[in-house]
Structure formats: C-alpha cells, structure tokens
Structure 1
Amino acid sequence: MPIHILPDALVARIAAGEVVERPASVVKELVENAIDAGATDIRIECAEGGKRLIRVTDNGSGIPAAEAALAFAHHATSKLASADDLAEIHTLGFRGEALASIASVSQVTCITRHADEAGGTLLRFDGGRLIAQERIGRTPGTTMTVEHLFARVPARLKFLKSTQTERGHIDGIVTRYALAYPHIRFTLVHDGRVSFQSLGTGNLRDVLVEVYGADATAQMAEVGDAGQMSDWRLEIEAISNLQSPISVYGYASLPTLDHANRSKITLFVNGRPVQDAKLSYAVVQAYHTLLMTGRYPVAVILVRVPPAEVDVNVHPAKAEVRFRDADAVFSAVQRAVRRALLDNMTPPAPPSLLRQWPNDRQESGATALAATDERPSIVEPTAQPPLTGSEAWERVGIARQTGALGGRVPVTDAATSSAPITQPSPLRTQNLPALRILGQLAESYILAEGPEGLYLIDQHAAHERVLWERLLAQHELGALPSQHLLDPVPVTLPAESAYLLEGQRDMLRDLGFEIEPFGGNTFLVRAVPALMIQDDTATALREIVADLEMGDAALRKDLEARVLRRVCKRMAIKAGRVLSFAEMQALVRDLEACESPRTCPHGRPTMIYVGLKQIEKEFGRLG
C-alpha cells in the first residue's frame, strides 16, 4: 500500500482516542473547562452512562461570541500564549485539544454567553463539522451537550463497559472534583435522578459527608487547615514566598476506618486529581504500625506547590505529574498525615482485668516500683465453670457439623437460627489425623499433638475454613439463614459504589442480605446473614462493596464467593482472643471434619506441622 496523508477527519478521530477514552473522559474535560472559567455552580446530566447524553452546565465567564467557533479548533486555547507558559501552568486545561476531540466523535451543542455580552451564542457540531450557529438568549455561562458519543467510531463504542460501570466512572470523576473544589456546588444527575450533590460551602468536611457518609467522615482526622477552602490558585502566590512552599491539606481516616485496597486514597496536586504511586505510598507510610497488613486508609489529600515546581504535561490524560523535588513533597505529605493521626487518636483505655501480681517481685518490677513501693489494685477474675461441648460451640460461634458417626445431621446456627438445617458433613479423617489439644500460644495459635509430631493451628484461619464450608453447604442447599435487624441500619456509600451495590442487590438477597435504597446514595440494611447478627453492619457492608469493586467481569458465582469469604473473615474468631480448652477442642474437631482443613478460604495455611523427627533432631537425639 503506498504512503499517503490521512484525511483530517480521520486524523481527528485517531487523536481523540488519547483524550476521549470513555464518557467519563468527556465529563472530566468539560468539568475542568467549567472550573477554569470560574464557575461556582456546575450541573452534570447523563443518560445511559453518558453514551447517549452528557450535558454540563456552568455559571462561569462564558465564551465570547466571536471566539465560540474557534474554541472547537485543534490546539485552540486561551490558557497558554507561549512556550514559557508551560513552565508554570495555573489552569486545569491548557492543550486546546479537548473540545475538538469530543466534537470529532459525537454530536455537540454549545450554548454560551460571555459575562460582558448581552446575548448568547448557539453552535452545533456533527463529527467535528460546524453545522449551525446562531444568537440565543441565556444567562452568563456555558452549556455543553454531547450526544451519541462514539456513534461514528463503532470500534471504540463496542469496547465501552456496561451502563452501570460507565456511571461509576463518571461518579468517580465528579466526586473527586467536588472534593478538590468544595467551594463549587456540583450536581450530578443520571437518567433524571440526582445521584450526587455538594453544597458548595467551601468546607471539605461537608463534601466528605456527601461522598462517604456521616459515619465514615466522623472517623476522619483533619490534615492541615482544611476548613474553609478556596480556589487553590488564590493560595499559590502566598505559599510561593515561604521558605518551604509545600502545603498539605485534607482528611485522613483514623485506624478505625480502613479499606481493602488503595482505591480510597484520593490525591490532588494544585487542584488536579493525580495518580502518583509515591504520594500514595507516603500516605500509607504515615499509618505505619497503625493499620493491619493488607488494610489501607481512606484519605483525601490536597497538595499545593508553586506551579513552577511541578510538571503537569507528562501524560495525555494529565493524570500524572512530575515534581522538581519529589522527596520534599513525599516527606511533607507523610509528616502532615502522621501528625494529624497522632493528634486525633484517643489513647487506649487501661485494661479492666489485670493478671495476678506475683508474690516474688522480679528485678524489673522492683526497679519500676522502687519510688512508691505500691502495688496496683488487683481485679480477681470470676471463676468460670467448665463449658460443655454445645456451650463451647455457641461461645466460639461455631455450630457442630458432624455427629458421632458423620453423615447427614441437623445443624443449628449458633447465632440466631430458629430451625435446624440438614447438610452433608462427612468426617474426613484422611485429611487430618486425630489431634490432642495441648494449649494456646500467644492467644492466637492452638497447640495440638498428632501421631507424628506437633501441629500449630492459626485459630482465625481455622475458624474461617469452618465457617466457609458451613456457609457454602447451606448456600448450595438454598438455606442460608437470614436475620432481620431490630432497627434498620442506614449506610451511605460513594456514588460509584452505590450504583454497584444497587446492581448486586438480588445476589446479596440470595446470600441473606435485605437492602433497599433510602434516597441518594444511602441504603437501609434490614437483614443480614444470621452469622453476622452481632457484627458492625455498616462497616461489613462497606467491605463487601469494596470486594465487589475488585474486577468488572466476575461471574455471579465468583461475586457470591467473595461476599461469603468476607462474611467468614469478619466473623471468625480473631487473634488475641483467649479460648478455653473446650473451645479449642471444639474448633479443632470441626476443622477435622472439613473437606479442605489445611487452608482458609483465601488460601492461607491454617496450620504448621513440625514432625517428631525434626524435633528430635533439634534436641540432638538423632544424628
């Protein structure tokens, strides 16, 4: 094929692929234009996840009539004048490609009026061509309507995700800008229904309440002075004159509120949402020793630096930035978040139950008490009668799965079930030998003796396995017990998570949850699986939604498995809990009855085996 020059229309559509990836990309570009125009009220309307309609209306400065058509030309912008301006960018947009790219892959209607003009201008574009232009009346500001996105680019259209997924991406874009610009009122409407609205008070906490809910916001600490926040550009000149011109604001969750992954760490640099692994790591490092391994904080961190100290012209989507002194920014973020956490964390209460003070004081104890020679008051533990087998099961939260001879036996949910459930539970002695309980180590591991050595059993992982096989068997029989709550629990979720939960309500109902919309992004939880009746319902639901967010194309059975694994993980006995001998024996016997007793549902081992020969070798009994 001979070399030839591509037509301008085809070039425009190819170039548009770098700017317009999906409907959320269009929303991002139009919202950024509205913010750059000084808008204080921005309304976003979408239909069918933005595939059929996206309309963004603002009360900004508008476009002069003489320049309205020029705004849709390639490389046309009012935000840069020379190459030197690239070194110090004060706006979100600057390349002059967004409107031209959007118009080349859709039908666009622009209605705008500049603040200094008496009337407005209407323009219509189809596939990048201007097909109509006329004068029209309207208030100052701009309305951009984008219809039938990618209708002329079927290759891109067929790769869009479901309407629900595209809605979620749009929700994420809008809520992020609402967090970065709390002085702007954002309204997001999907298919005629308001799904998100910020107040525009300038108070970041007000936006957090709308995004994450009042309960979650109450568990977040203020970083820096994030009270009344204005446009970042008004603060840049002030911080540029400081010796260390790096400012960090925002909110970070206390250790009582965490997430399964880093997706709830939201970062902004000079009002621009960014993806920066190093800054994200700085936030996580601020929680060193404060969060469990594998858990991550919820944080909204806004970094302000002089524009000359950051390069935003790195990525086509402007999602990445490069700092002149990245280490200084990293340290500033880490210190600010850590300081906020330490200033807001409540010191732990002293234990109410102390162990018996020894009669013969140790040297260290004598040294510590030498000044006063006083002993603390001792609270004597109340004597507890030994538990019978069934009582032990109820206390540890496990129901017996097997009878003395194995086979199908009635199983009663120890939590709340009112009727026995019959399920197959064959005794699998070939998987585990009969074990003799020796005791508990570090309030986390059960020591047991087997025929050929020592077994160290992780009580949490073992209990997860027991609960998993029990719930799985009940689910296969269609008999997962559900328990109605005395008082329904309201749970507010971020907009993108709310749409995901709404789409999975039928699946969750089959697993024992009864959840109904309660307006906006709030849901009422009326029933939960019986096993979870004593759990923190709001926290459990947020963790389940986080599990559902992990992957877009999972099969229903995979989603069900994720939810059940989460239920098991939350309800399994935790490390640090003292178990009686009867409880340990009950747990180990039930683990022996499992089909796969050696791993938890997540694949982690439930036990470590130390062979007798290895023990004898360590003691020098074997050569």
Structure 2
Amino acid sequence: MPLWYNWGMKIQQLSDQLASQIAAGEVVERPSSVVKELVENAIDAGATSINIDVRQGGRESIQIADNGMGIATEEIETAFLRHATSKLSSIEDLNAIRTLGFRGEALAAISAVSQVTIVSRAEGADAGTRLVLEAGVVVNRERVGAPQGTVIVVENLFYNVPARLKFLKTAATEKRLIDEFVTRYALAYPQIRFRLTHNGRITFQSSGSGQVRDVLVAIYGPEIARQLLEIGDQRLEAESESSSLQSPASDSRSSIQVTGFVGSPGVHFANRGQITLFVNGRWIKDTQLTYAVIQAYHTLLPSGRYPLGLIFMQLPPEDVDVNVHPTKTEVRFRQGKAPFGTVQRAVRQTLVADAPTRQMSAWALGSNDGDSPGWMGALNPEAFIGGGGEQADLALSWLDETDSQDGMDGTLPLPEPEGETESQLPIMRVVGQVGASYIITEGPEGMFLIDQQAAHQRALFEQLQTEWAADNVTVQTLSTGTAVTLSETQAKLVEQFQEAVARVGVQFEAFGPNTFMVRAVPKIAASADPARLLISVATELEQSKGVVEEAGLVTAVCQTISLRPGQSLTLAQMEQLIRNLEKCADPFTDLHGKPTFIYLSVAQLAREFGRI
C-alpha cells in the first residue's frame, strides 16, 4: 500500500482558501515575485511613474504606487478573485497575448498569503476605494480621496504559510533579486520613471526619458555604459516549423526583430547573470537564447567569463506562446530555432563591426598620457588598410605540427591571392623571434609582440570555420588509416555524433571494441597526427556533457594542430604567419579570448629609456 494513502480521508474538493494558497505557491515564490506581478500590472495599466518601496527584503512590506488608469470602484473586489482579469476574454485573445499579465491569478495568489491594502481611483472617478484583505478575505472597504492610479501594500508575506516563510533567503538576497527585476524592466520601458527604495533609502531610479542609454548609465555607471555596443535593427523573415500543418492560404512566415545592447569583449563577468532577454516587452528566461548570445562571443572572451547583453525581440504575438508557466517567464516560439540564429547573428555582427574601431582606439591611446599621438596620429589609416601583400593560405599547413624544439627547416612559396580583403591590422615588418614563442614586428609608430600559437590558432580557426559554415570542409584522405582506442564513454560519444564530427573533417569508422580507424582529416591538418585529432574531438564531446556544438569541435581541431610555444620559425614562416593574421576577420584574440599580440608605442619605449 502506498505510504501516502490515508484510509481515514475521503476524496473531497478543496476549499477556495486552501486552493488559493496552493496556487499562490506557483505564482508567488518569494518577495521578488510579488514585485514582478504588481509592476507588470502597473505597466499594463499605462503608468508613466512607478514607485517601489520594500522593507526588510520584502518580508515586512512591499508597496507599489503607480499613476496608471486605476481600478473602478465596482471592480476592485473582483480583481482579487481567482482567474479574474480584464486582459482577455476568449481563446483568440489567449493565442495572441499583448499584455504582460493575463492569467488573472496574481492578486488572488498574493492576497492569499499576506495582508493586502489597496487604494485605487479609476480615470474619471470622483473618489477612490480603499480595500483591506487578510489571507484573501476582505476585512474593510471604504471610499477615500486619492489621485488617479493605484497604491498596493503587501505586508507580512507568507505569515499564514510558515513552511514557505522559512525557505526565504536573507534580506540581502531578496533585495538583490528585487533590484535585478526592477532594473530589467526599467531597461525595457525607459519611458517609465522607476524609483526603488529599500528601508526608506533610494537604491535605483530612472528618469523616464525614453532613452535606454540613460537607464544603462543609471544601472552600470558611465564607464561600462560607454563600452556597450548598440545592436542595429536586425530582422528575419522566419519560416514556421508548424507551417506544414496550416492551410495553404495561411501565411507561415513572420518577422523577428532584434535590437538592444551588448558589451564589448573587454566587459565580461563571472556568470551569465548580465544577459537579459525580452520578448515583446516581457522579461523571459531562455537557456537557448542565452547561449546564442554567449556563442556570438566565441573566441572573444577569456575562458569562464560571460558577456553583458540586453536583447529585445519583437515578433507577432501569435508567434510566441507565453502561457507556458504560471510565472510567465518562459515562452515557446512558433518559429522553432529561428530566434536563436537571429540573436546570434545580430550580436556577432555588432561585435565584428566594432572590432576595427575598438582596436584602433586602443593603439591610438598607447601612450596613455597624451605625450605621443601614437601611430593613428602619425599615419593616414589608408596607409595600412588593406595592407599585407598577397593573400596567404590560412592553413599554414607547411608548419611542423609536432612539439619538437629542433626548429623548422625550409619555406613554402606564398600562394596566389584569392582576392583582396581589408585588413584590420597595419602593415608590419617582421624583425625576429624571441623565446621561440613570440614574433617581434615593427609597425607604424611602434612594435608588436605577437604570440605565435595564438595567431596560428586564430588563422586556422577562421579558415576551418568558414569551410564548416558552408558545409564544405576540404578533407585529406589518408593513404593508410590510423587506429585509435578511446575510453568507453568517449567511444559511445563519437559513435553517437559521428556525423557532426565528419562535418568538421574528421572521418572514421569502427575498428573493434572502443577502437576506430581514422580515414580522413581536414586538409589544413594534413600533417597532424590523426590519432591526436580524434582524441581531441572525443574529449570535446565528453566535456560538452551531451550539448554538442559543432563550433566547439572546430575549436578542438584547431587547438590540436596549432603551433606550440618553443617552435623556432624561419623568417619566411614568420612573415607568412603575420600575413595570415592580417587577413583574419578578428585578428585580435585567440580561441579563448586572450590577445594575439601586444602593442608598444614609440612613446612608451622612449619613456622606458628615460627619453621623455
């Protein structure tokens, strides 16, 4: 007999009060949930000013005051009934939600687990109404004088549900969660003036100017706000995955618009908490879209660091289902994976477009104190844009891929150019190599110290990624296969994702228990050890914990075949490596977001030698 079965109880319908308290657990998880629901109601009411006052992290009281349209006297009690709402009335309305609230559960859920006082005067009314509720039951009602709008006070949250109360975090933690929510909505609605106070002290306020950048300054400060890049209006006509189920007359295409701001690669954090997503003005949580933002920074950030992103998506209401979870923070898209690609492309294009300006500004400020104009002031930028001579083969396949310290003999003639591409680096003259790891070059008004491994990885990655994106990786078939034995876990993974591995150029077949025969490798890795390539790919699959991203496999291949520190290069080899770096779309960082080079201006060198 199941342990939960109670012989002494009959099946019966729960009381309204108990049902409301159970439902409240889905909608009202903590004080920040109360703030969220009440602020969203204020926004839906057309408020242009919203004041939030919180005491003891929301445990003692939460007060939300707005100047919206208010609640009519005859409707104020109805507003606290379960499933009572003015925001939809039919199934057609539910299929195209245009408001933040719609379920009609928030006020009932909040009042069921707290003591609530509300004062509201509707637009055009000559007086307001004051209503007091305890545990969802009305205990007082009276007419009062009040300005248009609504003031609602929630006190002693969870006073009648002690089990919920003991699971609340500290006041400081609850305060932080409330801060995060209010600042998010201030960004999404810059035309609304928000003010947030904790224990009587103002901790955040926005001007309501309508300018998102004003809110960004208020949240992050002027220094970080200056480093945020605005995403140009990106639109995609997306084909719905469900279009095959629609009638021939229906239009299965819809427009997805992406705007917002992202931080330059120099702005990064220890977690994903600074990536904020909005869909049609609603803050949402979506792991796939968050990953789209992170993936757009691939190779631009140090390992373990995450970007700042503020992403606004607009699409037809009927193309997004917001009725997924009681908290309304999860949504489903009719277009399937289309939003992921649109967000990733919008962020990546913004970062790539900013790269030359960002790096040139850094060089121009090389003197740091204005003593020297730097090379930007000494040379016309046209003198180096497009420089670098002939187009070099990004593969550098002639490089020795072993860890030998004996040096590398011979050179390879540079291939014929395939077409001119604009370089983001100035023309550089190779001077030599130091420590068999760094290449010294002379550029305009200074010198560059280039990490040969980082530069080689970047060049390899951009070629292989370009081929992979076009589903056209050039492979080199091996005359004799190479047998590789993997761990049982790795063997299962490479078998499961064999097709994905083949798309990055590593082709193999089963050759025995946990053993595989490598038959082909990417052409750029023709001189590499095939066994090392398959092991690297298998390791990447294992570390991805089942969430396989083919771009990660591209990275694994390039890391395996790139130069190692301590490999001596000939002058011709160094020159070719520099030419390949000059032709990269993003020559500034390696695959982990670390710099490929360091620039020292002539002015900096003069100061070190005491010349100035």
TM-score relative to the length of structure 1? 0.55
Spell out, residue by residue over 1:15-35, the C-alpha distance to the aligned partner (whole angstroms, 9 max, x if none): 111111100000000000000
Q: Single out whichever of 329-338 and 33-42 deviates more from structure 2.
A: 329-338
Spell out, residue by residue over 1:421-467, the C-alpha distance to the aligned partner (whole angstroms, 9 max, x if none): xxxxxxxxxxxxxxxxxx956459xxxxxxxxxxxxx9xxxxxxxxx
Give 1:318's aligned amino acid: K
- Give the one of 3, 14, 17 matched to 1:9: 17
Q: Is 1:161 the equivalent of 2:161? A: no
For the residue of structure 1 that corresponds to 2:269, the secondary structure is coil
What is the Cα deviation at residue 273 of structure 1? 0.8
Q: Is 1:142 the equivalent of 2:150? A: yes
Taking only aligned residues, the RMSD between alpha carbons, in angstroms, comes to 3.2
Q: Is 1:18 the equivalent of 2:18? A: no
Aligned ranges 1:77-476 → 2 under 5 Å: 77-225=85-233, 244-345=254-355, 346=357, 348=359, 364=413, 442=437
Give 1:41's aligned amino acid: S
Give 2:325's aligned amino acid: H
Aligned ranges 1:15-54 → 2 under 5 Å: 15-54=23-62
For the residue of structure 1 that corresponds to 2:255, the secondary structure is coil
What is the Cα deviation at residue 577 of structure 1? 13
CA contact under 8 A between 2:112 and 2:134: conserved in structure 1?
yes
What is the Cα deviation at residue 57 of structure 1? 0.3
CA contact under 8 A between 2:435 and 2:566: conserved in structure 1?
no
Give 2:293's aligned amino acid: V
What is the Cα deviation at residue 364 of structure 1? 3.5
Query: In the superposition, relative to structure 1, how do residues 128 and 378 fare at CA in structure 2: closer, same or farther (>3 Å)?
Result: closer
1:61 and 1:576 map into 2 onto residues whose CA distance is 68
1:281 and 1:379 map into 2 onto residues whose CA distance is 39
Give 2:9's aligned amino acid: P
For the residue of structure 2 that corresponds to 1:303, the secondary structure is strand
1:64 and 1:347 map into 2 onto residues whose CA distance is 55
Q: Is 1:59 the equivalent of 2:95? A: no
1:576 and 1:75 map into 2 onto residues whose CA distance is 66
What's the counterpart of residue 74 of structure 1? Answer: 82
What's the counterpart of residue 460 of structure 2? Answer: none
2:174 and 2:198 map into 1 onto residues whose CA distance is 11
* Structure 2 residues not aligned, in runs of 5+: 1-7, 235-250, 367-373, 376-408, 421-426, 440-452, 454-563, 568-612
1:9 and 1:336 map into 2 onto residues whose CA distance is 49
What is the Cα deviation at residue 6 of structure 1? 2.7
1:208 and 1:10 map into 2 onto residues whose CA distance is 43
1:380 and 1:309 map into 2 onto residues whose CA distance is 59
For the residue of structure 2 that corresponds to 1:224, the secondary structure is strand
Q: Single out whichever of 281-290 and 15-24 deviates more from structure 2.
A: 281-290
What is the Cα deviation at residue 379 of structure 1? 8.9
Spell out, residue by residue over 1:161-203, the C-alpha distance to the aligned partner (whole angstroms, 9 max, x if none): 1110110111111111111111111100000000000111111
For the residue of structure 2 that corresponds to 1:245, the secondary structure is strand
Query: In the superposition, relative to structure 1, how do residues 72 and 441 fare at CA in structure 2: closer, same or farther (>3 Å)?
Result: farther
Query: In the superposition, relative to structure 1, how do residues 576 and 125 fare at CA in structure 2: closer, same or farther (>3 Å)?
Result: farther
Report % sequence identity. 51
For the residue of structure 1 that corresponds to 2:123, the secondary structure is coil
1:15 and 1:174 map into 2 onto residues whose CA distance is 24
Spell out, residue by residue over 1:42-84, the C-alpha distance to the aligned partner (whole angstroms, 9 max, x if none): 0000000000010000010000111011100111000010122
Query: In the superposition, relative to structure 1, how do residues 336 and 378 fare at CA in structure 2: closer, same or farther (>3 Å)?
Result: closer
What is the Cα deviation at residue 332 of structure 1? 1.4
Query: In the superposition, relative to structure 1, how do residues 316 and 576 fare at CA in structure 2: closer, same or farther (>3 Å)?
Result: farther
Give 2:58's aligned amino acid: G
Give 2:205's aligned amino acid: Q
CA contact under 8 A between 2:274 and 2:309: conserved in structure 1?
yes
CA contact under 8 A between 2:437 and 2:566: conserved in structure 1?
no
2:45 and 2:207 map into 1 onto residues whose CA distance is 19
CA contact under 8 A between 2:233 and 2:257: conserved in structure 1?
no
Runs of 4 or more consecutive aligned structure 1 residues displaced over 4 Å after TM superposition:
241-244, 349-353, 360-363, 365-368, 376-381, 575-578
What is the Cα deviation at residue 322 of structure 1? 0.1
What's the counterpart of residue 598 of structure 1? Answer: none
What is the Cα deviation at residue 137 of structure 1? 0.9
Give 1:261's aligned amino acid: N
Give 1:258's aligned amino acid: H
2:65 and 2:276 map into 1 onto residues whose CA distance is 25
Spell out, residue by residue over 1:313-358, the C-alpha distance to the aligned partner (whole angstroms, 9 max, x if none): 01121111000002221121112111211222226458999xxxxx
Aligned ranges 1:488-503 → 2 under 5 Å: none
Give 1:303's aligned amino acid: M
What is the Cα deviation at residue 145 of structure 1? 0.4
Aligned ranges 1:572-583 → 2 under 5 Å: none
2:413 and 2:214 map into 1 onto residues whose CA distance is 52
For the residue of structure 1 that corresponds to 2:86, the secondary structure is coil
Aligned residues: 368
What's the counterpart of residue 356 of structure 1? Answer: none
Query: In the superposition, relative to structure 1, how do residues 250 and 10 fare at CA in structure 2: closer, same or farther (>3 Å)?
Result: same
What is the Cα deviation at residue 123 of structure 1? 0.4
